[in-house]
Amino acid sequence: MSGLLTTHVLDTANGRPATGMSIELYAIEREHRRLVKTLRTNADGRTDEPLLGKEEFAAGLYEVVFDVAGYFARDTDLPDPPFLGRVPIRFGVADPAAHYHVPLLVSPWSYSTYRGS
């Protein structure tokens, strides 16, 4: 795939995809955030559609915000406030013809990300 922005969320605490996690995508314009869309992960921990398709994908700064506390609160006794609430990942897109994949590996206590393929 090319010219797409995608994600995949894995629940590392339970060893499974993070099903039903709310994700917000923002475009960063002169240090202001503009909400582009809100999506939810499916049974595979992915979204049913790309975060951005090739028609709407452009160079610039973006931020994906993952509702980690909302996801884990469904079946985990979290402290109040939870250690991780909403996890923002801000990144730049230099080549909108390329595939940018932003996976999140997450537990109630930690997370990691990288530019995937």
Question: pLDDT per residue over 48-105, tens digit each?
Answer: 999 999 999 999 999 999 999 999 999 999 999 999 999 999 999 999 999 999 999 9
Give yes or no for residue 1 having a pLDDT over 90.
no
**What is the model's pLDDT at position 62?**
98
Domain boundaries, the chain: 4-112
Confidence of residue 2 (pLDDT cuts 50, 70, 90): low
How far is 67 from 65, CA to CA, in rounded Å? 7
Q: H or E element: which one contains 69? A: helix 68-72
* Range 4-112: architecture per CATH: Sandwich (2.60)
Q: Contact at 8 Å (CB) between 109 and 85?
A: no
In sequence order, the 6+-apart residues with CB closer than 8 A to the CB of 53 are: 3, 4
What are the beta bridge partners of residue 32?
Answer: 29
Tell me the pLDDT tens digit for each residue of 20-55.
Answer: 999 999 999 998 999 999 999 999 999 999 999 999
